[in-house]
Chains A and B, each alone.
Chain A
Amino acid sequence: MVAPADAPGTGNAHDTSDGTARTVLDDQDISRALTRITHEILERNRDSAGLVLLGIPTRGVHLARRIAQRMSEVESREITAGALDITMYRDDLRLKPARALEHTEIPDDIDGKVVVLIDDVLFSGRTIRAALDALNELGRPKAVQLAVLIDRGHRELPIRADFVGKNLPTSLVEKVRVRLTESDGGDSVSITTATSTGGAA
Chain B
Amino acid sequence: MIKNLLSAGDLDRADAIRILDTAEELLGVASRPIKKLPTLRGRTVVNLFFEDSTRTRISFEAAAKRLSADVINFSAKGSSVSKGESLKDTALTLQAMGADAVIIRHQSSGAPHRLAEAKWTKGAVINAGDGTHEHPTQALLDAFTMRRHLGDLQGKNITIVGDVLHSRVARSNALLLDTLGADVTLVAPPTLLPVGVDHWPVETSYDLDSSLEKADAVMMLRVQAERMNASYFPSAREYSRRYGLDTARLGRLPDHAIVMHPGPMNRGMEITADVADHVRSVIVEQVTNGVAVRMAVLYLLLGGAAEESAAEEDSTPKERE
Number of A-B contacts (CB under 8 A): 86
B304 engages A96 (CB within 8 Å): yes
Q: Which A residues touch B26, using CB under 8 A?
A: 101
Establish whether residues B304 and A138, one from each chain, have CB atoms under 8 Å apart when the complex forms.
no
Residues in A whose Cβ lies below 8 Å from that of B34: 137-138
A77 to B303, CA, bound (A): 42
**Residue pair B313, A96 in contact (C-beta under 8 Å):** yes
**Among B35-43, B152-160, B225-233, the stretch in contact with A:** B35-43
Stretch of A6-14, A66-74, A86-94 lying at the B interface: A86-94
B90 at the interface (CB under 8 A from A): no
Contact with B along A97-138 (1 / 0, CB 8 A): 111111110000000000000011111111110000100011
Indicate if the CB atoms of A96 and B321 lie closer than 8 Å. no
B18 at the interface (CB under 8 A from A): yes
Closest B residue to A201 by CB, please name it.
Answer: B320
Closest to A57 in B: B318
B: contact size bracket: 20 to 34
Q: Which residues of chain B are near A92, meaning CB under 8 Å?
A: 320
Q: How far is the CB of A92 from chain B (nearest CB, A)?
A: 8
A175 contacts partner chain B, Cβ-Cβ < 8 Å: yes
Kindly list chain B residues whose C-beta atoms are within 8 Å of the C-beta of A59. Answer: 318
User: Which residues between 284 and 321 of chain B lie within 8 Å of chain A, taking CB atoms?
Assistant: 299-305, 308-309, 311-313, 315, 317-321
Tell whether A2 is near chain B: CB-to-CB under 8 Å.
no
A177 to B34, CA, bound (A): 35
| A200 engages B304 (CB within 8 Å) | no
**Contact A96 to B25, CB < 8 A, known contacts A58-B318, A123-B320, A124-B321:** no
C-alpha gap A86/B39 in the complex (Å): 11
Task: Decide if A121 touches B38 in the complex (CB within 8 Å).
Answer: no
Q: Does chain A have a CB within 8 A of B21?
A: yes
Measured CA separation A107–B303 after assembly (Å): 28
Per-residue interface assignment for chain A, residues 181 to 201, with 1 indicating a CB less than 8 Å from any chain B CB and 0 otherwise: 000000000000000000111
In the bound complex, residues from chain B placing their C-beta under 8 Å from that of A85 are 25
The 4 lowest CB-CB distance pairs between A and B, nearest first, are A98-B304, A123-B321, A97-B304, A200-B319
Query: What is the interface of chain A, defined by CB distance below 8 A to chain B?
Result: 58-59, 85, 88-89, 92-104, 119-128, 133, 137-139, 175, 177-178, 199-201
Chosen A-B contacts, 27 in total, with CB atoms closer than 8 Å, are: A85-B25, A88-B37, A89-B37, A89-B39, A93-B39, A94-B304, A94-B305, A96-B305, A97-B304, A97-B305, A97-B309, A98-B303, A100-B22, A101-B22, A101-B26, A104-B28, A121-B318, A123-B320, A123-B321, A127-B320, A137-B32, A137-B33, A137-B34, A137-B36, A137-B37, A139-B33, A175-B319
